[in-house]
Amino acid sequence: MSRTVFAKKDFKSEKEFGPWLSQACILVIDDEPGMRNFLVKILKPRCKKVVEASNTEEASKLLDTGHFDVVILDNVMPGQNGVDWLREQRKVGFFADAILITAFADLETAISALRAGAVDFVLKPFRSNQILNAVARCIDRMHLRRENFLLRHELDSDAKENRRRNKLIGKSKLITNIRDTLHRVAPLPSAVLITGESGTGKEVAARTLHSMSDRSDKAFVPVNCSTIPSDILESELFGSVKNQNEDGDNPRDGLFRYANGGTLFLDEISALPHEMQGTLLRVIESRKIRPVGSTREVSIDVRFAFASNVDLSAAVEAGTFRADLYYRINVLQIEMPPLRDRIEDVQELVDKFMQEISFELGVPELKVSNAIRRGFSRYDWPGNIRELRNLIERSLILNEFPPEFEGIETNADIPIDDTLQSVERQHILRVLEECGGNHAEAARRLGVSRKTVDRKCAMWNV
């Protein structure tokens, strides 16, 4: 019976105060035990965590060790008052929304509270619904800020294409194995390093990892380390507190905090400046960040995924990438194969891109003839999946495929995949024989990586 009553109560609370209140962590600061007990009694059944402090000194210590979404702060307390404490905390790195409660409603106090960074002002005595609505507004505003920031960030980083593709496409053995590996590691907190040539779908793999994890309902934040200017990189990643001489504006959250609870994807990690590599290593190990201008570290809870289109081990040897950071992020490495090594997936990708892009452009789909499909399957795709997608979009705009693909003909009665696999196998084995079985030399002559030759030979048991 009691479980049924609580279930109804929780549903009513969510309906009345929004879906986010139950996930909120609240800090209550008041020197009066009766008021603290009243607030805790109201909030605790409806929020994830409620912690209380009897003075500002105790509250400061709690902020140093934990994360809170909202702070409910009494203004008149022995020693330091609430407004002065709030102003001080904003300057050393305090990012939570603050609600000031007071029994003295004068205009000067209200203005001082807003300038100090309070987002709401509640007059004593108040009813339980007043404080619940104030907290719910703070939580809703926090989530809206986060969503707006992430949307702007993705638009600025030109991630429109990758937002649509949140799963790996293809039935080839290589992609099936990668999908199985992602499924195995998704529930675990371990970092994942995704490598491969440009355009092979490293971010898509990271999004697939996120969607398979228990963090899928939280934010996925992609960061291209090569596109953020080095002079603002630290503040973009870790956030910053306001200038010591400014009043009113809240500290600026960084990408790490917006990814809190979700997945942070650091692409082109090799482009990270050397001094920032050491900072990132400390963040990964401590799970704490220090915003620019702050004297307080902020705890974070993120799943890390990294990507690189260069050989990081070679970068370590060259001295451009820290060895300790490389070994820290290289817990599980997933190599995305180039499209030429998974050519059997081309047809499925062509059909998907054709349907998707034609709808987006508002133009009819082009018929993909057998000759065009054979041409696609015989092409090496040096630009990988990105090149294939761009070619489909260009063909839809021009209403025709490039003539060089239409001109490739073969025996239509022979299955495409079998023919290609047979020709590929014969060619690679012939080159290997000419090189005396030297895989490195064969890879050089073929214009592919040594790993590609090794993988093919393993597949053919030669």
- Residue 420: predicted pLDDT: 57
Main-chain dihedrals φ then ψ at residue 375, nearest 5 degrees:
-65, -40
- Residue 67: predicted pLDDT: 80
- Residue 407: predicted pLDDT: 53
Q: Which residue has the higher pLDDT, 459 or 196?
A: 196
Residue type, 383: G
Q: Which residue has the tokens 């079998």?
A: 418
Rounded mean pLDDT, 30-39: 90
- Residue 137: predicted pLDDT: 87
Rounded mean pLDDT, 367-389: 90
Residue type, 184: R
Confidence of residue 24 (pLDDT cuts 50, 70, 90): confident
> Over 90: is that where the pLDDT of 151 sits?
no
Tens digits of residue pLDDT in 292-351: 888 888 888 999 999 999 999 999 999 999 999 999 999 999 999 999 999 999 999 999
Q: Which residue has the higher pLDDT, 19 or 283?
A: 283
> Over 80: is that where the pLDDT of 161 sits?
no
Residues 6 or more apart in contact with residue 312 via CB below 8 angstroms = 193, 195, 269, 270, 321, 326, 330
- Give the β-pairing of 192-195 and 332-335: parallel
> Over 60: is that where the pLDDT of 443 sits?
yes
Calpha distance 224→157 (Å, rounded): 8
Calpha distance 401→394 (Å, rounded): 8
Sheet of 120-123, strands arranged across? 49-53, 25-29, 70-74, 97-102, 120-123
Task: Kindly list the distances between the CA atom of residue 26 and the CA atoms of 67, 69, 180, 181, in Å, as whole numbers in the listed order.
Answer: 9, 6, 40, 38
> Over 90: is that where the pLDDT of 240 sits?
no
Q: At 380, list the tokens.
A: 């090496």
Q: At 272, list the tokens.
A: 């990270």
Rounded mean pLDDT, 58-81: 86
Residue 309's SS3 state is coil
Confidence of residue 437 (pLDDT cuts 50, 70, 90): confident
The full length of the chain comes to 462
> Over 80: is that where the pLDDT of 178 sits?
yes
